[in-house]
Amino acid sequence: MELLYNSTRNKDEKVTASWAILQGLAPDGGLYVPGFLPKLDRTMAELAGMSYQETAYEVMKCFLTDFTEEELKGCIARAYDQKFDTEEIAPIQKTEDAYYLELFHGATIAFKDMALSILPHLMTTAAKKNHADHEIVILTATSGDTGKAALAGFADVPGTKIIVFYPKDGVSPIQEKQMVTQKGANTFVVGIRGNFDDAQTGVKKMFGDEELAKELAKAGYQFSSANSINIGRLVPQVVYYVYAYAKLLEKGEISDGEKINVVVPTGNFGNILAAYYAKHMGVPIGKLICASNENKVLYDFFRTGAYDRNREFLLTSSPSMDILISSNLERLIYKTAGEDAKKDTDLMAALGEKGRYEITEEMKGQLADFYGNYASEEETAQEIADVYRKSGYVLDTHTAVASAVSKKYRAETGDCQTKTLIASTASPYKFTRSVMNAIDEKYDAMGDFELVDELSKLAGTKVPQAIEEIRTAPVLHKTVVDVCDMKAAVKQFLNIR
């Protein structure tokens, strides 16, 4: 059965998966959602014996129905190859009371690699399928990890250019070095004087700028997105939740049909939404535990039903979660509103105009799958130290937020029997200073790359290639602009006068 997509703000206009991937954002500013959530046509027992690549095909064929088997398998084969440093792609590390799904074994050592390794292949295939005659310009805002993963994926891909905006003082030193040393004639990295929400809002404004779209078309370009607002980012993320359950089953850690809880450190809401989609596809998931840092806008939303970004923006040790506008939440809002596009549009307009909206009691009743909580900076550091002392396993700051929240969930609900899968979204090597200081404050006197070597000794793990590459790499991108000059920076890079 063909699965078509529509905007969260217009249910009537249907498009194919390839068109939705190519466009990124719907013309009305909404996000593309599937007309229905498909079911897996394989049992978990059948999936248990499959490789990551085979599982990816079984999941993605359900969503991307206008891609042929040959096209889809080709994209998967090119994406999930030797650039991952483990054969499993997404191995699971068991500790005393949880299973950590390691999603950081790709080229840029963060979970964004899982989807951004395949997006360029999906997008260039989609462009051919839709006879696109304009060069694709990937326009993306990043809170730290999406940017580098997108840059690595799209660097020197024919028929594409990529422009990444990041908050100049809102990412870790390693994250920034990864981006500003990126090679590729088609890449452009821009720091902004502002935070991630400023960058994301600026990018969305450019997507909705009709005059700019005309100028781009005249110059032979069209925008698309590599953020998780692109359905081509979201669908590949569903895969690793299906794969993780199947692997736990294969290893005898769970019985067939046994429910597990899934904990996800959450900023833009895409990663946990993928787990929600996996649950609706038939994966036996109990609670979806949404873990926030001190920018706890999602925690407040799940507790009260009110989404309110009118608050101080905090810079934390888990910068990829320093977000007050969680774009992907719109897809869940649309679903809980009974797929009422007008209601969704009104709520998003309220967010834009007043900075807040409140859902109805009926909609709140649709959120029973979710539990929200947060971890403070102190709790995050304590969790890193506790897990290391008990098991020798080193968490990054984002994973530590999730780990701390999983314990809060157990304490609050008394649910200590259900096995817990925690999405480990980044390597500790990306956040060495915060991680090492949490273990022992004596490390604070060391330089960034000294800390890398010390972490390697401490954890007994090899320094990832992604870190080795940037030790001496020259800085190639030095542009920093005010938020109001983002459009001008884009036009300058594209040579549009």
Active site residues: 112
The distance from CA 361 to its chain's CA centroid, rounded to whole angstroms, is: 29
- d(CA 151, CA 177) in angstroms, rounded, equals 13
Angle at the Cα of 397 from the Cα atoms of 247 and 174, rounded to 5 degrees? 105
Lateral strand order in the sheet of 5-7: 10-15, 5-7, 32-34
The DSSP symbol for 186 reads T
Q: Are 77 and 53 in contact (CB under 8 A)?
A: yes
- d(CA 248, CA 88) in angstroms, rounded, equals 13
- d(CA 99, CA 102) in angstroms, rounded, equals 9
Q: Are 164 and 172 in contact (CB under 8 A)?
A: no
408-427 exposure pattern, b = at least 16 Cβ within 10 A, e = fewer: bbbeeeeeeeebbbbbbbbb
The dihedral built from the CA positions of residue 262, 264, 268 and 271, taken in this order, carries a sign that is negative
Q: Which of 419, 448, 482, 494 is nearest to 175 (CA)?
A: 448
Q: Are 306 and 367 in contact (CB under 8 A)?
A: no
Q: Which of 321, 314, 477 is nearest to 397 (CA)?
A: 321
Q: Which of 156, 454, 437, 142 is nearest to 317 (CA)?
A: 437
Strands 187-193 and 160-167: parallel
Tokens 């059948």 sit on residue: 46
